[in-house]
Structure 1
Amino acid sequence: MNTIYFSSGSWAILKAINGLGLKKDDQILKPDYYCEDINNTLAKNFNLNSYTVYKNLKPKISDLNKLISKKTKLIILVQYFNEKIDLSNIINFIQKQNIKVLIDSIHLFPALNNRLYSKADAEVYSIKKSLYLNNGCIAYVNGSLIETKITLNFLNLGSNTISFLKILRSILNLMNLPIIDFQYKINFESNKKNIFSSKMPNNVSADLISIIFCSIIRRFKIIQYINLLSLKKLKIPRKLKDLNYLTFGELLINHKHIRINKNQTFKWPEPIGELRIDEWTKNSEELYSNNNLFSLYFIRI
C-alpha cells in the first residue's frame, strides 16, 4: 500500500532526488541559506556545493555558471517563505546546461492539481509548515506525484494522536476559539542547538490522520477558504496573490496568543553557521512592505 504523503520534507526531497536518478557522490548545488537538517542529510549521500542567495531571494545566474561542473547533476532552488518570486528564468538556464532542477516549496501547500513551476524536474510542498501540523509533505517528479510505501508510522498511536491534536489546534485557531498559550511559545535561542539532526527519521510515510486530513484539504476548496478567513481575521487590506496555496502558519494565528517576536519568526530555516540571521531579519521588513506575497507571513504585534 502506498501514499503520496510523506512524514517530513526531508524524506520528500530525498525521494524526489532518487526519482530524478541521481547517484551517490553526484554534485548538488543548493543555497547557502537553507535548512540545516536537509543539508546534513544530503551531505551523507551527495557532493554538496553552495551558491549565494541575495536579498531578492534568488541566486544570480552568473554565480551558478561559475559553480557548475561536469559533476553537477542537480540544482535546488527555494521558494522562500511565501514570497512570490519568479524562478522561471533560472530554471530555463539550468536545464539548458542539462542539469535537473528541484524546487523546494516547503513553505507552501497547494490545492489539488496546482503547481508553481510545471517545467521544473521536481517540486516539494509541505502542509506541516503551513498549519503547524505533524505530517504531510508531497513531491512531484517529472510532473507526477511520487509515492512512498506505507510504514509503521501509518498506524502509530502516538503519531496519530499528535496529528489529531495539532489539526484540532488549527481548527480552533481558524474559528477564533480559545487555545492554550504554551503551544505557541518558542524559545529559539535555548533550543536551536537541539533542533537539527543529521539522522533521518524512520517514519517515511505520513500517519493515517494526516493522510486523511491532507487529502480533504487538497481536494476541496478549503485552502481558499482558510486564506480568505485569515485575511479577514487579521483585518489587513492586502490582496492575496494566489488563493490556491496555504502559506507559513503565522497568518492563521490569533496574535493575542503569540509568545514570539518578529525576529524569531523569520529565523527558519537556520542559516549555516548563523552567518545570515541579522541580514535576513532586517530584510523581513523590506519583503513585507513590497506587498508581493502569496499571503501574509510577517506578524504585526
Structure 2
Amino acid sequence: MQTYMQNWTQVTEFVMAGFAGVHEARLLFFTLFFIMYLFTLAENLAIILVVGLDHCLRRLMYFFLTHLSCLEIWYTSVTVPKMLAGFIGVDKGKNISYAGCLSQLFIFTFLGATECFLLAAMAYDRYVAICMPLHYGSLVSWDTCIRLAAACWLIGFLTPILPIYLMSQLTFCGPNIVDHFFCDASPLLALSCSDVTLKETTDFLVSLAVLLASSTIIAVSYGNILWTLMHICSAAERRKAFSTCAAHLTVVSLFYGTLFFMYVRTRVASSINFNKVVSVFYSIVTPMLNPLIYSLRNKEVKGALCRAFFPKSWKGQ
C-alpha cells in the first residue's frame, strides 16, 4: 500500500491518447470534427434564438427543444475542444489534471443522463398531444413542463455523484495514459491499481437504471402513438406522422444503442478502438443530428428561421 501511495503522489495528471492510430491523417480528422462541432453549435444556437424570439414557437413542444439544444451545446463542448487540441498538438493539449479528468467525467455523465430523461419527457409530450389531444392542456401545462424539465436536470445531476465518488477513491499508480479522447470510466478503470469490482458494479446498475427508465418511457409513448395513428389518422396524415416518428426513433435508437453498448456492462472493454468509434456517435454525431431531426425538419421552425434570418425574402412570399 505504501508503494501505491508513493506512486499516487506522482500521478497528478493524465495524458489523453486520443486517436493515436491516425497520426498521419490527424489534420483531416481535426478538420472533420471541427466542422461537425461548429455545425452542432450553429444549428443548436439557431434553434435557441429562433424559439426565444419568435412568438409563434412559444409552445410547450418547443420548450423541451430549447432545453435539448442547450444540453447538446454543453455536451459536445465538454469533450470536443480537448480532442481537437490533441489532434493539432497544442502545448499540453493531450494533458488533463486528475481533478479536471474527474470533472469532465462528472459533467459528461450528468449531461448524458439529463439528455436521456429529456428525450423521455419529449416522447411523453408527443404521446399526450397525439393520443389524448382533448386532455393535453390539463395533463401537459406550462407548470408541468417546467417541473418535468427541472426534474430531468436534477436527476441527471444526481446520477454521477456516487460513481464519481467511487472513482475518486481508487488508486492510480501508473501509467497515466488514458486510451480515449476523453475521460471515460472504462479507460480510467483500466489504469487503476485498486480493486474496481464495486466501481464497475455501481456503474452498471446506475447506467442500467437511467437507460431502462428513460427508454421504457420512450418505447411505451411511441408505441401508443403508432397504435393511435394506425387506427385514427387518414392515410396522408398517417404517412406524415410515421415519417416524423421514424426520424425521431432513428436518432433515439442510435443514441440509446451506443449508450447501452458502452455503459450497461460490468467488465472493462477490450476493444478500445471500437469503443472510441462508438463514443464518437453518441458524443458528436447524435448531437449534430438531433436539431436536424427534431427541429429543422419542422415546417414551423423552418418558417421561423426564414423570418429571423431572411425577413425580406419571407415578406415577399
Q: TM (normalized to structure 1)?
A: 0.24
More strand, by proportion: 1
- Relative contact order, CA 8 A, sep 6+: which one is greater? 2
Mark the structure with the bigger radius of gyration.
2
Structure with bigger helix share is: 2
